[in-house]
Amino acid sequence: MARLKLPEPYDFALSTERFRAFGPDLANLWDGEALLRAVGGREVRIAPAPGGVDVEPLDPVTEPVVRKLLGAELDLVGFSRFAAEADTVLARLATALAGFRPPLAPDPFEALVGSITAQQVSMFAAFAIRSRLIEHFGARVGRVHAFPARERLSAAEPEELVAVGFSRRKAEYTVALARSDLDLDGLGRLPEEEIRARLTALPGIGEWTADWFLARHLAWPRAWPAGDLALRKAVSVFYRHGEAMTTPEVRAFGARFEPFQNLSAHYLLTGLRVAP
């Protein structure tokens, strides 16, 4: 294996916790020791190593995908300094989860379909449905599957997605996204409001999905998915003694984490699971 250096601090176990917490993800498969992902028709194995990860194979095709997946572009040093001075809650979480780099979705289509899958269901249900979609429509590469290509799902009918666990509406939303003429790879070059406008013009894609696209694919520092039920719960538990909060209240609350709303959201969500 070849060593891929990652910005310090980096904790492999914490950073890959998501792929073990909610059940198997066939496109990002945990094999008990390492993370597997299909890249360019090859199985890529990502294992912990001092100062980063060992990657096999590591080359100009696989490296950018692995860096994206492992959240290498996120400013963890700046966030750690910010958290230490922000408030006692965030300071405690930044210490307890030191080295946690939230994983990102390397592909924009995968990011959006994943969000559609997770709409209004638990993460356990979302992972299970996502894996059935991947198994049925994605190509197997070694022990892992490639996430279904946009072209493959554009050729599918909604009924085929319903058969693997999608609701009728989510199946229609996914097929409509696949068949749309929206340039997903070009969205990151646009202003935030234009990205939101183009995404929410599609059926079934609302503010929540757009927020997570900005957070988990584009890695925008200020992305703050205030409408997420789990984030609302985390903010409530950590800052309001469990008192229920509305989406507008949580959205306004995000201002205190400027300009690190994205990392703050991930630390609050993960902290609720592993460092309450």
Residue pair 102/266 in contact (Cβ under 8 Å)? The answer is: yes
Q: Is the pLDDT of residue 188 over 80?
A: yes
User: pLDDT tens across 52-70, in order?
Assistant: 999 999 999 999 999 999 9
pLDDT in tens, 163-183: 999 999 999 999 999 999 999
The confidence score (pLDDT) of residue 159 equals 97
> Per residue in 4-23, pLDDT tens?
999 999 999 999 999 999 99
Band of residue 1 on the pLDDT scale cut at 50, 70, 90: confident
Q: DSSP strand E in the chain: where?
A: 2-5, 29-30, 35-39, 42-49, 52-56, 140-141, 144-145
Region 220-236: mean pLDDT is 96
Reported pTM: 0.94
What angle do the packed helices 108-118 and 123-137 form, to 10 degrees? Answer: 130
Mean pLDDT taken over the chain? 96
- The structural domains of the chain, ordered by start, are 2-72 (no CATH), 76-98+219-276 (1.10.1670.40), 108-214 (1.10.340.30)
**Cα dihedral angle (71, 77, 80, 84), rounded to 10 degrees?**
-170
Structure confidence at residue 275 as a pLDDT band (50, 70, 90):
confident
Over residues 147-152, the mean pLDDT reads: 98
